[in-house]
Structure 1
C-alpha cells in the first residue's frame, strides 16, 4: 500500500481554501477579527510569506498524520514493522491485505474520522489554549469550527484518494 504524497499535498492546501472561505468577513472573519483584536492594518503588516509558508508546512504535518488516523491498513503495516518488512512478513499479512486492502478506503469514511479528529483533538486543543488565554467562546467556536471542517476535508482526501 503506497503512501499517497499527492493526496497529502492536496489535503494540506485545502486548509487554505477553507480558511479563505471561513475567515471571509461575510462568514466568520468579522467575528474572528473582533474576538482577536485583529485589524485590517495589522493584517496588512503581517509577513505573509512566513504566515502562509508555515501554514502549509503545519498543514502538511497534519495531513501526514491524518493518513494514519483514517486509513486502517496502516495499522496492519505498522504491526509488521513498516514498509521495509513487507517482503519478510508472515503470509497472514498478505492474506489480510488481500481480504481488507481497500476496506473503509472511501472519502466518506475518511471524512468521518477527520470529523472525529477535529472534535476530539482539534476542539480540545483550541479550547484549552483559549481558556488560558482568556478568549471568548465565540473565538473558540470559530477557530475550532475551522479545524473541524478542515480536518474533515483532510480526512476525506487522504483516505479516499487511493
Structure 2
C-alpha cells in the first residue's frame, strides 16, 4: 500500500478514547448505563490498563482498515481514490461513517435482538461508532 501515514493511524487510534469520553460520559453516559445494565460498582472493577490498552490496539486495527477503505476504489482511470480530488476530510468522513452503518449496525443489532436489548441501547452504541469511525476516516484521509 502506497498511502500509509503511520502517525495518522496512531492518532486516529486515539480518537475512540476521546469520543468515548464525551459520548459515554456527559452525552449518553446515564442512558447507556441504564440500557446496558452497567453499574458504578461494576465499572470500578475494570482493569484500566488492560481495557484502554486493548481499546487502542483494536482502534489501530480499525484505523489500518479505514486507511485501505479511503484510499482504494474509484472509477479508473481519472477518479481513483488517493488522488487529490478525494484527499479530503469530508471524503474520509463519509467512508468512515458508512463502515459502521453497513457492518457494525447489522452485527450489533442482531446480537442486541437475542440479548433482548433496547433500540436505545443499539442507537447509543452504533451512533458512537458512526461518529468515531467517521472522524477516524476523515483524519486519515485528510492527513496526507
Does TM, normalized by the shorter one, top 0.5? yes
Query: Structure 1: any 5+ residue segments left out of the alignment?
Result: 77-94
Whether 2:67 is the aligned partner of 1:67: answer yes
How far the C-alpha of 1:154 sits from its partner, in A, is 0.8
Aligned to 1:160: 142
Aligned to 2:7: 6
CA distance in 1, matches of 2:39, 2:59: 25
Q: How does 1:29-44 map to 2 (within 5 A)?
A: 29-44=29-44
CA distance in 1, matches of 2:67, 2:3: 12
1:118 counterpart SS class:
helix
How far the C-alpha of 1:2 sits from its partner, in A, is 4.0
Aligned residues of 2:9 and 2:140 also touching (Cα < 8 A): yes
Deviations 1:11-70 (A, max 9, x none): 11011000000001x310101101111111111111111110110010000010011111
TM-score, normalised by the number of residues in structure 1: 0.79
CA distance in 2, matches of 1:118, 1:62: 11
Whether 2:115 is the aligned partner of 1:133: answer yes
Q: What is the number of equivalent residue pairs in this alignment?
A: 141
How far the C-alpha of 1:101 sits from its partner, in A, is 3.4
Aligned to 1:53: 53
Tell which structure's C-alpha radius of gyration is larger: 1
Aligned to 2:104: 122
Aligned to 2:125: 143
Query: Structure 2: any 5+ residue segments left out of the alignment?
Result: none
Aligned to 2:24: 23
CA distance in 2, matches of 1:2, 1:122: 25
RMSD: 2.2
CA distance in 2, matches of 1:8, 1:129: 29
CA distance in 2, matches of 1:131, 1:67: 31
TM-score, normalised by the number of residues in structure 2: 0.89
